[in-house]
Amino acid sequence: MENNIENFDYTITHVGDLKFEAVLPNGELKECGDNLLNILKYTYFDNLEHPPIGWSTTREQLMKDYLPKLIAEILNGKIPNEN
């Protein structure tokens, strides 16, 4: 397997109580940490306490949805630009 991050997609699924698990390409199951949880909440669930159990996305789709939202908010001054 190549170490290129673009080729490293995985599925992220809500398993309940705002806990998410990622199924890696090799089939390994990992609990998602706080950083990924915050990205998911920011991107998809700002107005929801809990997404539906079984809701899922891929890393690739998450980045397609997250990055434009983040960049727009930086450019609009909603999020401070550290540079």
pLDDT at 59 over 80: yes
Residue 18: predicted pLDDT = 85
What average pLDDT does range 15-29 have in this prediction? 92
Residues facing residue 58 across a β-bridge: 11
Q: Is residue 50 part of a domain?
A: yes
Domain assignment present for residue 80? The answer is no
In a domain, 55, yes or no: yes
- Do strands 56-58 and 19-23 pair parallel, antiparallel, or not at all (unpaired)? unpaired
Q: Is the residue at 82 inside a domain?
A: no
Q: What are residue 31's DSSP bridge partners?
A: 21
Q: What is the domain extent for residue 43?
A: 5-75
- Residue with structure tokens 């539906």? 52
Answer yes or no: is 59 within a domain.
Answer: yes
Give how many domains the chain has, as a whole number. 1
Residue 23: pLDDT band with limits 50, 70, 90: very high
